[in-house]
């Protein structure tokens, strides 16, 4: 009687490579085209949202923000106080020749916003507030649509 299990009865020479996929239906490919919006992850869409807002602000304040780096991180790396709120963004000072960084924390922002529109507005407000603080101006001066 022959065994149907590959390699049964033979000493193993290492990991076996599969010659075909499970159930023999062919390898699974992407379900959507790579350029379609549905194929983007939440993190990629959030990065795009932040990049769009940074470009919009840089159109007006590009020269002042030339030495500022904008970044997105999942969560704050600093230990948080047990009673305090989770920060949504931060401005980190430049040290050792590194530029000043304005960081937006993706997971806390996504937890706070319920819709895509709320998320976009919150990201816009966070970036305007951080840039205004960095430049020593009011948020309304940085972006006249801030109060809307």
Q: What is the mean pLDDT of residues 48-55?
A: 95
Two structure tokens written together for 98: 């590194």
Percentage with pLDDT > 90 across the chain: 51
Range scoring the smallest mean pLDDT among 6-15, 47-56, 62-71? 6-15
> pLDDT tens-digit profile of 3-23?
444 444 455 555 555 555 667
43 φ, ψ to 5°? Answer: -65, -40
Q: What is the mean pLDDT of residues 26-40?
A: 68
Q: DSSP secondary-structure letter at 2?
A: -
CA atoms of 3 and 10, how far apart (whole Å)? 11
CA atoms of 5 and 2, how far apart (whole Å)? 9
Using an 8 Å Cβ cutoff, are 101 and 91 in contact? yes
| Confidence band, pLDDT 50/70/90 cuts, at residue 116 | very high
Two structure tokens written together for 67: 């030495």
pLDDT of residue 127 exceeding 50: yes
pLDDT for the residue 77? 86
Range scoring the smallest mean pLDDT among 17-31, 55-69, 128-142? 17-31
Two structure tokens written together for 61: 């304040």
Using an 8 Å Cβ cutoff, are 26 and 100 in contact? no
| DSSP line for 9-45 | TS---SPPPPSS-GGGS-----SS-TTSGGGS-HHHH
CA atoms of 146 and 138, how far apart (whole Å)? 10
pLDDT for the residue 4? 47
pLDDT for the residue 135? 92
Using an 8 Å Cβ cutoff, are 104 and 126 in contact? yes
pTM given for the model: 0.73
Mean pLDDT of the chain: 82
């Amino acid at each position: 009687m022959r065994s149907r299990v590959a390699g049964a009865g033979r000493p193993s020479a290492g990991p076996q490579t599969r010659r075909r996929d499970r159930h023999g239906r062919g390898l699974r490919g992407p379900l959507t085209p790579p350029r379609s919006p549905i194929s983007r992850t939440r993190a990629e869409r959030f990065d795009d949202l932040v990049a769009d807002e940074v470009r919009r602000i840089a159109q007006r304040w590009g020269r002042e923000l030339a030495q500022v780096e904008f970044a997105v991180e999942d969560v704050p790396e600093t230990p948080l106080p047990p009673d305090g709120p989770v920060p949504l963004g931060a401005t980190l000072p430049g040290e050792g020749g590194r530029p000043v960084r304005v960081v937006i924390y993706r997971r806390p922002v996504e937890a706070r916003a319920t819709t895509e529109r709320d998320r976009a507005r919150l990201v816009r407000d966070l970036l305007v507030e951080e840039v205004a603080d960095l430049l020593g101006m009011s948020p309304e001066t940085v972006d006249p649509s801030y109060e809307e």
